[in-house]
């Protein structure tokens, strides 16, 4: 499930944020679903609980999860309205990456094709709710 590269220059907590975020947006983790507790996940991944908590706190800051004292961390339900700043940043990065892709030789057709495929998957995922 979660795969940490301890030799990476990328901090562990950032790897966790990216991977969990990806699982949420791809529908692997559904809204309302409970995440592993800080201590359990720390033991599973053999990292310090503080590192897990740092990742969870960041995911909460950008609106992907929320926490309840004594109960646990949960995937947010309605993320659309929650964080416009995050959407703005994602949009900017999306534009930069699309420019880079074209610059590196990706064809316009392929770019549009990729987007349409993701749109299709996203609409399909909605029906699963």
Using CB under 8 A as the criterion, which residues of the chain lie in contact with a second copy when the complex forms? 21-22, 24-26, 79-81, 83, 86-87, 90-91, 93-106, 108, 111-112, 114-116, 118-119, 121-123
C-beta of 33: minimal distance to DNA in Å?
A: 13
Note the helical H segments in the chain. Answer: 12-25, 38-45, 49-61, 84-103, 108-127
Which listed option, DNA, a second copy, none, makes contact with residue 69 (CB within 5 to 8 Å by class)? Answer: DNA
Distance separating alpha carbons of residues 59 and 77, to the nearest angstrom = 14
Tokens of 45: 């991944």
Buried b (16+ CB within 10 A) or exposed e, 7-27: eeeeebbebbbeebbebbeee
* Residue 32 or 105 having the CB closest to a second copy: 105
128 makes contact, choosing from DNA, a second copy, none, with CB < 5 to 8 Å by partner type, with: none
Per CB under 7 A, the segment of 24-32, 34-42, 83-91, 94-102 that binds DNA is 34-42
Choose among a second copy, DNA, none what residue 113 binds, the Cβ cut-off being 5 to 8 Å by kind.
none
Output the CA–CA distances (angstroms, integers) from residue 15 to 18, 49, 58, 89, 103, in the order listed. 5, 15, 12, 18, 27
The residues that bridge with 129 in the sheet, in sequence order, are: none
Least distance (Å) between residue 60 CB and a second copy: 15
Interface positions with DNA (CB under 7 A): 9, 11-14, 35, 37-40, 46-51, 53-54, 56-57, 67-73
């Amino acid at each position: 499930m979660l795969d940490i590269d301890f030799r990476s220059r990328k901090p562990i907590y950032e790897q966790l944020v990216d991977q969990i975020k990806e699982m949420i947006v791809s529908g692997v983790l559904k809204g309302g679903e409970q995440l592993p507790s800080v201590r359990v996940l720390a033991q599973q991944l053999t990292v310090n609980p503080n590192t897990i908590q740092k990742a969870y706190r960041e995911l909460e800051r950008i609106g992907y999860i929320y926490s309840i004292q004594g109960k646990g961390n949960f995937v947010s339900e309605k993320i659309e309205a929650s964080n416009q700043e995050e959407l703005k940043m994602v949009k900017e990065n999306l534009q930069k990456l699309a420019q880079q892709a074209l610059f590196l030789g990706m064809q316009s057709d392929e770019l549009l094709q990729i987007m349409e495929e993701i749109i299709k998957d996203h609409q399909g995922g909605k029906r699963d709710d």
